[in-house]
Chain A
Amino acid sequence: MRATPARRSAGLGPRGPQAGVSTSGTRGAAAQGPAPTIAGIVFKNVSKFYGEVLGVNRVNLTIPPGITSLVGPNGSGKTTLMNLLAGLVLPTRGEISVLGIPGGRPERLFRVVGYCTQFDSYPAGATGREFLLAYLALFGHSRFEAIRRSQAALDRVKLADAADRKIAAYSKGMRQRIRLAQALCHDPQVLVLDEPLNGLDPLARAETIALFRSLGAEGRYLIISSHVLHEVDAISDQVIMLSYGYVVAEGKIHGVREEMSDHPMQFQVRCSHPRELAAAFVREPHLLELRLLEGDASGPAAAASLMVTTRDPAAFYRGLNRLAAGDAIPGLEIASVAPADDDAGSVYDYLVGHAEEAR
């Protein structure tokens, strides 16, 4: 079993069982959607073992509204965490509550939770619409209401045209979308989406990401698992990083990166005189590495850029400002300065690398 790496968090108060992934800054949250609740989604010291095999261990989380991504490679515990939330598996230890609803109450839980699983199984011979109607029938809706809701969900996932075709004839992407429609059709406040972009073509991916953003902006809770890290950057308000069943970091991705003060940070500086800038920087004590990157010949100011690796980002910014404001480099124009390694992939690599070193 792996050692627990030091857990990172960002934008948070004191840690503890009630501490959250992020308590502020959700993208446009609570604008118009369902009424906000006080409890959120809470994992209190939750562990799950499958016999001797660890699913997740000692998870303490409070997930706020907005889009939260679960990040980690296969087997890191993402699906286990989602299944625990949905009650499909039971915690070996600890407690889970969703908007104040404790575990073991599916009759209440699934009024507010929609779960888009990876399970690719449907009633034999059913069309997409029949599948949704059968699911909505379990909610006790009238036939009319079920038809209305299923149509709305089909429209939302852009599957209305294929709604009356048999699911068996659907492509992988369409089956993914009908599962998404199933999760959405009862208008839940919490959406749990297990690898929801799998099998979607680029256009459908873009549409689905836009859908997630609009759902997040409505103040809903979206919990999305993904091992495609650049998608996580595009979607998430906050991330939960998992490795071997442990939460290794949580919070807003940029915040998590900033908290990693013991790990050097990389910046890409696009400017008019990268060589001169490199020469000016080279004597700075915080500097670890400088690299000149060949730029795009057609680009004007960003013809080339400088990659700076520093152990003190604050000192780097101070030095850069001094150079930009002074006349040490005549004609220096800085087009952009951007952190180059605060994406989810880099952060995850650093953290899991940490875990490997600690082991």
Chain B
Amino acid sequence: MKPALRQVGVVFGRELRKTFFARRGLWIYLLAAAPFLLFFGYTIQNKIEARQRLAWASEQQKPLAAADFATIKRGMTESDVQARLGNPARRMMFLRRRRAANDQIQFVQNEWLRYSDGSGLYYIVIQDGKVVRVQTRPAPTLGDLNLLFATVFQFFYLRLAVFFGCLGIFMNLFRGELLDKSLHFYFLAPVRRELVLAGKFLAGLAASVVIFAGSAALQLALLGRVGGQGLGHFGAYLGVTALACLGYGAVFLAAGLMFKNPIAPAVALLLWESLAPFLPAMLKKLSVIYYLTQLCPVSVASGPGTSPIFALLVSAPDPISRAAALVGLLLLAALVLAYSARRVRRLEIDYTSE
């Protein structure tokens, strides 16, 4: 092996261990685990509801279809409802306290009649003997799951979890060592500083990809989106996560060489990335999220019920092809890394100013 490669390997190995086992990096694992925990709760709830659908369908007086529930209108009496739908699977009665117009406290009788058509749960809410509303909880479809994951992935995972996780990992590579007064270990060895930078960056990249792509894989597996038709999405999401780590990693590595306090660059970058949809076409190309959103397999902006502001935030107003987005992101990362390499050559160790 070439000596330079061996040196990069030595730096990589040391930094990888440090990154994975850094005490100050525990919160990064929590950040990566947050959506997994969210989907874990969601999956459990889905399983409970699936069991309820089957149970209620067998316990109610007769089999029902969605059309039967469409006939239930506001203002109907309980006996009207039971005449059309039969006895419910479950019935829940309770009193609700209400302040009347003359400031007197009144108790109103509430009743929930619970039915199922086998694919959804129906709650018919009756107040003072009259139907006030019909609540529906349909079983999630494949499309719902795709959209749910895409929303969490694009809005929380990429923009917050991976963003701040990369901030924690990559800014720590140099800034953390300056704070720990340990950077001279590398700078007093016969290693080109660019190679130290390369080893550290690769270690940060490997660690962040393992943590964040690993978490994304677990999330998709939890939602059952790993095999069959979901395999393409699975690969695409892992790829986008890895590219996000590459892009944000390069940016935060450079920020770690430029700034002492990570808060200022983090806030500035978060604002910049959030404002990306509103930026002119040229400036958009200087944001990581611009490329990432174009590489995501599911468009959140076009989802049903998406609010216009949310749609704008997650949209890509100046779309480019996926290949161009990939090349653009790699180019952006390469430019930032080249700048970092220049910067690290001039980096001075002055621990007293840290």
Contact = CB atoms under 8 A, between A and B. Distances in A.
23 contacts: A50-B353, A86-B188, A89-B349, A90-B346, A90-B348, A104-B345, A106-B190, A106-B191, A106-B193, A107-B192, A110-B188, A110-B191, A111-B190, A117-B184, A117-B188, A119-B181, A120-B181, A121-B181, A122-B182, A134-B10, A134-B14, A138-B186, A140-B6
Contacts of B18: 123
Interface string A88-120: 111000000000000010111111000101011
A108 B191 CA distance: 8
A245 to B, nearest CB: 15
B310 interface: no
A137 interface: yes
Chain B interface residue number, banded: 20 to 34
B185 interface: yes
B188 A115 contact: yes
A140 to B, nearest CB: 5
B333 to A, nearest CB: 25
B348 A88 contact: yes
A89 B188 contact: no
A214 interface: no
B181 A138 contact: no
Contacts of A117: 184, 188
Given A104-B345, A107-B190, A123-B182, 8 more contacts: A87-B187, A88-B348, A89-B349, A89-B350, A106-B189, A107-B192, A139-B189, A140-B7
Contacts of A107: 190-192
Contacts of B10: 134, 137-138
Contacts of B188: 86, 88, 110, 115, 117
Interface in B140-185: 180-182, 184-185
Contacts of B228: none
B304 interface: no
B305 interface: no
A83 B6 CA distance: 27
A135 interface: yes
Interface of A: 50, 83, 86-90, 104, 106-111, 115, 117, 119-123, 134-135, 137-140
B33 to A, nearest CB: 24
Contact of A119 (B193, B345, B351): B351
B3 interface: yes
A248 B343 CA distance: 35
A165 B184 CA distance: 23
Nearest to A115: B188
Contact of B182 (A83, A89, A121): A121
A110 B189 contact: yes
Nearest to A51: B353
B182 A88 contact: no
Closest 4 CB pairs of A and B: A138-B189, A110-B190, A121-B182, A88-B349
Given A119-B351, A121-B181, A121-B182, A88 B14 contact: no
Contacts of A120: 181
B180 A121 contact: yes
A317 to B, nearest CB: 49
Nearest to A105: B192
Contact of A135 (B6, B185, B351): B185
A337 to B, nearest CB: 47
A106 B192 contact: yes
Contact of B191 (A50, A86, A88, A138): A138
A109 B190 contact: yes
Contacts of A134: 10, 14, 185
Contacts of B351: 119
Contact of B190 (A104, A121, A122, A138): A138
A107 B188 CA distance: 9
A87 B193 CA distance: 11
Nearest to A134: B14
B185 to A, nearest CB: 7
